[in-house]
Amino acid sequence: MDVQGLRKAFGELEVLRGIDFSVARGEVVCVIGPSGSGKSTLLRCVNLLEEPSAGRVTVAGTEVTDPDVDIDRVRRRIGMVFQAFNLFPHLTALENLTIAQRRVLRRDRDEAERVARANLERVGLSDKASAYPAQLSGGQQQRVAIARALSMDPELMLFDEPTSALDPELVGDVLAVMRALAQEGMTMLVVTHEMSFAREVADRVVFMDGGVIVEEGTPEQVVGAPQHERTRTFLARVL
Ligand code: ADP
Ligand code: MG
């Protein structure tokens, strides 16, 4: 994944003011930064949930920002996990995982269910296939949301503060699933305030403030020995 000269304005408000960075295949990059710095907008520009005002975004060799690109095709290869789990409340966990496979990837029922069960197992929820979202804890719902994204065979997974809405005792299970994914070689771009996760799992950390990347480097560099005052101020508040 590659972002060059990415800008995004909402009317007069410049939210992204020239972002350049890339995530190599199999790499895990964590994005940190204060509220309002443009982290969610950056993720949303990568899969064109927001249209960039300027710049280029390329995912797995396809330029997403090319006006001629079939964005639905690109989007189905990008898994996105939000703070809110966004599961269909009237569908079971298994059905939440099969519906897009069947409608978008045109998989038949048997194939979709096979993939769904494999991914429920991957997130430790084999026994919850017939549960409805309301019968699951927040952490379990988020793991179903991750399994749903994985069922589409994504080339890139975007996570936007996936544990921020969870009770503290449920955060660990979700981070463990993400850590396992990272170890399996998934390409991941993760917005998070979980500094221990960033330190242990990220190959690189990007610190954003005011719509720009202030600094980036290894976790040891950015979290362990930040060079910029703005990074130090932010870390002092979250650590
Ligand atoms: P973060 O995720 O780092 O907290 P966001 O990307 O959500 O930051 O938001 C950055 C800024 O962009 C904020 O000032 C926010 O109010 C503004 N913003 C985000 N989405 C929109 C939108 N759709 N319309 C107008 N302003 C927006
Ligand atoms: Mg956000």
What does the pLDDT look like over 82-102, one tens digit per residue? 999 899 999 999 999 999 999
* Residue 228 in tokens: 């910029």
| Atom number of ligand 1 nearest to Cα 191 | 2
How far, in Å, are 57, 92, 203, 237 from residue 23 at the CA level? 11, 34, 10, 27
Q: Give pLDDT tens digits for 104-153.
A: 999 999 999 999 999 999 999 999 999 999 999 999 999 999 999 999 99
Mean of pLDDT values over 14-21: 97
**What percent of the chain stands above pLDDT 90?**
94
Q: Give pLDDT tens digits for 24-50.
A: 999 999 999 999 999 999 999 999 999
Instruction: For 146, list phi and psi in degrees, rounded to 5.
Output: -65, -45
Question: Is any ligand 1 atom within 6 A of the Cβ of residue 41?
Answer: yes
Question: Is any ligand 1 atom within 6 A of the Cβ of residue 11?
Answer: no
Please give the distance, rounded to the nearest whole angstrom, from the Cα atom of residue 87 to the centre of ligand 2: 19
Query: 139: which residues sit within 8 A by CB, 6+ positions away?
Result: 166, 167, 170, 171, 173, 174
Average pLDDT, the chain: 96
- With cut-offs at 50, 70 and 90, classify the pLDDT of residue 6: very high
Where do the DSSP E strands lie in 68-127?
Answer: 78-81
Query: Would you state the pLDDT for residue 85?
Result: 85
Residue 239 has pLDDT above 90, yes or no: no
Please give the distance, rounded to the nearest whole angstrom, from the Cα atom of residue 193 to the centre of ligand 2: 10
Question: Is any ligand 1 atom within 6 A of the Cβ of residue 15?
Answer: yes
Question: Is any ligand 1 atom within 6 A of the Cβ of residue 40?
Answer: yes
Query: Would you state the pLDDT for residue 199?
Result: 96
Give residues whose Cβ lies within 5 Å of ion ligand 2.
39-40
**Residue owning the nearest CA to atom 23 of ligand 1:** 10
In three-state secondary structure terms, 47 is coil
Residue 218 identity (one-letter amino acid): T
